[in-house]
Structure 1
């Protein structure tokens, strides 16, 4: 059961009313209990838990919600087998338990998927080692999902897989999600509990009291240029890879090693899988995944130091592209994948806590850490899967500092579970009903009610529909076209050319729901297509064929 909203707090059911949000900030005279900087999954999780624990809380994101790492993952909600090999059984157990929490809380958004390890003659690790690791994994999860497919059964399951020296595959069950929509589900849950959140709100500096302790923030509304001083009893720095920029002036140290992970999205027929494949790359023996994603195939990730400025949107390099395609061609030799076939790419920067740059990136641990520096609480590292635990760690420190009489509820949910059922939606397509409820919770009814004629039909080969874009434009603080096409939905990653072929239909929705004039639409379209070509397409080469 969800706790009721705080007494006297107005329930916000939409992220869209930026003017009302700004006016609320302007009118508030007393200090907030918590100001959270960063609108990824960590910040969203802290905001929700703060509201559930009776704290007045507001979140500021300098770009769009889930703009950074939280929309650029490999889409997996998993324990991480490699943490077992590193001896980190605690993190693995916590991760699989959190995975199961999310599977129960958000069916349709977090879904089970089988993961297969193809095993070939002479490969290390082999069947015995892999099955032993999977047995430990299942024991930590309190389940039995692992097994083995012989060569014949594996070929029936994945006929196009390279048959050279193939012996079979070990398998187990984990989960996948739409990472950006998970962030939005958690933010909506926080708003329902009385918290506030604003995107395109840049924290320009930390405010200090007479003792040089952090006492608030100066925030700039990027859309109108106005600034405010916001007082807070606690400020939380949940900016991930960007956290050193806020923390270093207060703490005098830098602790984050930014690592880039890049992916490519290809048509399903070039790597036709219905299960996720965990594969050891021939170049460095790293685990890389090929998995089905939204009617396409996703390939990733790379893992290397990100040396470009974090103020610039990350993009895949030619070396990373070649690295990923080498794996596809090795595993699916019948695939004549060429440059023009690739639908899109994306790159994200992961925050890893490390001062040792000599260690290979893939050997770095992924645990999170929390620091306290003069009333600034910073948190970084960790995994998408464990965002609830990360949030509770932060909330425990906040409560100890400002409300010691309140204890942390270790059983608090990761998000609000939808009460809307597929019968309530009464759609002809049960799969659409399940996905809408998973992605939007109880707001799925609004999506159906607001849909115009034909807007519930799938857009081309995707599972998304125009009714989702209409509702998101109306309710989810869309400022730019890329907000709508890269994060509220994933059409810009799933349809060639960044979904340029669908822009006429999307123009109508943006003009009706966002009030964009022809001039604004033209500007937003040009901006989006330029951004997509630069950061979500492929590095420019002189050859059409990818080698």
Structure 2
């Protein structure tokens, strides 16, 4: 279990242990590092000042993709590496990663021509070692329109058809972190690093503050890794080392439109009027479009969407899908995320490399910045290899990297090919837990091999005689609290279910009973209940 109700016990562990490694940052990069280190047998702690995945790792385009456009920038090594990693991420967690056929329409005068697209996708298949069934196909004009009739017909020459992988980025992060915990890592959200401990000018741990209680204490470690994403530079500013490199933050925005207004049936990667490339992707009865790419200098904790951001994406839709008439009124929800990129003087946001970079300060603090969600496992392997090499001097030894073939939490199917049969089997048992078969199917797809635990909560629903919550909502909420370190309604509605972005009416329907039940479970005061209610209302207002 990874229970919010045992938070004080976990804090005592942080206070009373000396770790081989402390990781600052609970996004996908930090979670990946914790899992890699824990599976090698290291003693690991991870702290995150917000909720897990609350930063960039819940605000991406939600694709585990190889970065086709980086071929154009001649970043061949990065394309090869992350292209291969796509399949590994899928193999280890098919419940949170799904193959998605992507159509790249080719228009006269567009970013990609027919010959360059064909060659680029061929090279892409080769570099990424794409399996035979998923290799690219080139389509003529008529085939392209059959795949997606909404595409602009004027100047259309054909299309490239290839496979990417769609993911739930926040749930991917949570499942990686839960796997790390199952291997012995200690992890806590709402735990902020506010300084470092030193011996002989070397970092020997972290001064931490519990955001929930205000308690301050020390966490001791042999090695500390800064994987704080957009806050990397802020964490480095707490250290005595010189800051030789800096991040440049860029903001990306996505909007969500119901399919009754934008009935897209095929994922599209397309040109914008200014020559950029963005995605339009159908998901769960919605179509989401993004991303923008602009420099960002404000607080990375709460990036907001401007009217200009929305106008840019609506204009892009109008440009590529002229048969569709959508306005700001049709935007149901949206999200903005901040990307931490390595500063490159004179480059536009879209041209700055997405490659990751690792460096050490004079104090021994290891920092990782940049990179893509797709490459999280490989980034973690590189970081932990460095950690292990440094630990040798202290007499600590560790195994080699284990994560290439290590399923994440909920991913223990034996192979992705067994995933759907597992889901169907569990769906058929749902009625014995007080759920419909469709509800059982949805839960099994979301929680994978953890679904038996979720179903048991649904069965227990009647025993609690709850007012206002359905068995389906109760099961997910209790699992989120007792197995996923959920501390607030916002954690639940955004990062444990994704509902705030893709099923906002569900949030509006269930927010009050969820808050009341959490108040009962946690024993919140009226003031704290009001705080969490206001927090959720602010998030609802921000995405609408």
Gap runs ≥5 in structure 1: 1-11, 455-463, 538-547
TM-fit CA distance, 1:412: 5.1
Q: Which residue of 2 aligns with 1:368?
A: 356
- Between the aligned partners of 1:488 and 1:16, the Cα distance in structure 2 is 17
Q: 1:268 aligns with which of 250, 259, 263?
A: 259
Partner SS state of residue 108, structure 1:
coil
Given the two structures, how large is their TM-score scaled by the length of structure 1?
0.87
Q: Is it true that 1:409 corresponds to 2:401 in the alignment?
A: yes
Q: Is the 8 A contact 2:95 2:448 kept in 1?
A: no
- CA change 1:157–1:508 in 2 (3 A) is farther
* Secondary structure class of the residue paired with 1:207: strand
In 1: Cα distance, 2:142 partner to 2:383 partner: 50
Q: CA deviation at 1:159?
A: 2.5
Aligned equivalent of 2:538: 530
- Checking the alignment, whether the CA contact within 8 Å between 1:281 and 1:287 is kept in structure 2 is yes
What is the TM-score of this pair, normalised by structure 2?
Answer: 0.88
Is 1:33 the counterpart of 2:23 in the alignment? no
Aligned-partner Cα distance in 2 for 1:250–1:137: 43
Q: Is 1:442 aligned to residue 442 of structure 2?
A: no
- Tell me the equivalent position of 2:465: none
Q: 2:123 aligns with which of 130, 136, 144?
A: 136
1:32-70: CA deviation from partner (whole Å, max 9, x where unpaired): 111110000000001111111111111000011000000
Counterparts of 1:132 and 1:430 in 2: how far apart (Å)?
Answer: 45
Matched, 1:397 2:386: yes
Partners of 1:392 and 1:408 within 8 A in 2: no
Measured in 2, the distance between the counterparts of 1:123 and 1:412 equals 40
Matched, 1:56 2:43: yes
Equivalent residue runs for 1:109-148 within 5 Å: 109-142=96-129, 143-144=131-132, 145-148=135-138
How many Å apart are 1:355 and its aligned residue?
Answer: 4.1
**Does 1:480 find its partner at 2:451?**
no
Give the distance between the partners of 1:177 and 1:318, measured in 2 at CA: 27
Q: Deviations over 1:314-370 (max 9, x none)?
A: 1112221111110112222233323232111111111111241x2111111111111
Q: What is the match of residue 147 of structure 2?
A: 157
- Of 435, 447, 451, 2:458 maps to 451
The Cα of 1:443 is off from its aligned counterpart by 2.2
Q: Any conservation in 1 of the 2:64–2:373 contact (CA below 8 Å)?
A: yes
Following the alignment from structure 2 to structure 1, what is the Cα–Cα distance between the partners of residues 292 and 188?
Answer: 32
Q: Which runs of 5+ in 2 are unaligned?
A: 414-418, 463-471
Tell me the distance in 2 between the aligned counterparts of 1:260 and 1:133.
27
> Which residue number corresponds to residue 76 of structure 2?
89
Whole-Å Cα distance in 1 between the matches of residues 511 and 338 of structure 2? 29
Task: For 1:192 and 1:130, locate their aligned partners in 2 and report how far apart those are by CA, in whole Å.
Answer: 44
CA distance in 2, matches of 1:173, 1:470: 36
How far apart, in 2, do the equivalents of 1:225 and 1:257 lie? 31
Measured after TM superposition, the shift of residue 516 of structure 1 is: 4.4
Q: Deviations over 1:198-230 (max 9, x none)?
A: 000011111111x21111111001111111111
After superposition, the Cα gap between the structure-2 partners of 1:229 and 1:496, relative to the gap in structure 1 and judged at 3 Å, is closer
* Corresponding position of 1:73: 60
| 1:201 aligned onto 2:194 | no
Contact 1:37 1:43 in 2 (8 A): yes
Question: In 2, are the aligned partners of 1:130 and 1:170 still within 8 Å (CA)?
Answer: yes
Match of 2:302 among 310, 313, 319: 313
Q: The residue matched to 1:250 in structure 2 has which SS?
A: coil
Listed one character per residue, the Cα deviations across residues 65-97 of structure 1 (whole Å, up to 9, x for unaligned) are 000000000001011112212222221111121
User: In the alignment, which residue of structure 1 is the partner of 2:347?
Assistant: 359
Rate the CA distance shift 1:274–1:509 in 2: closer, same or farther, 3 A. Answer: farther
Q: Secondary structure at the match of 1:251?
A: coil
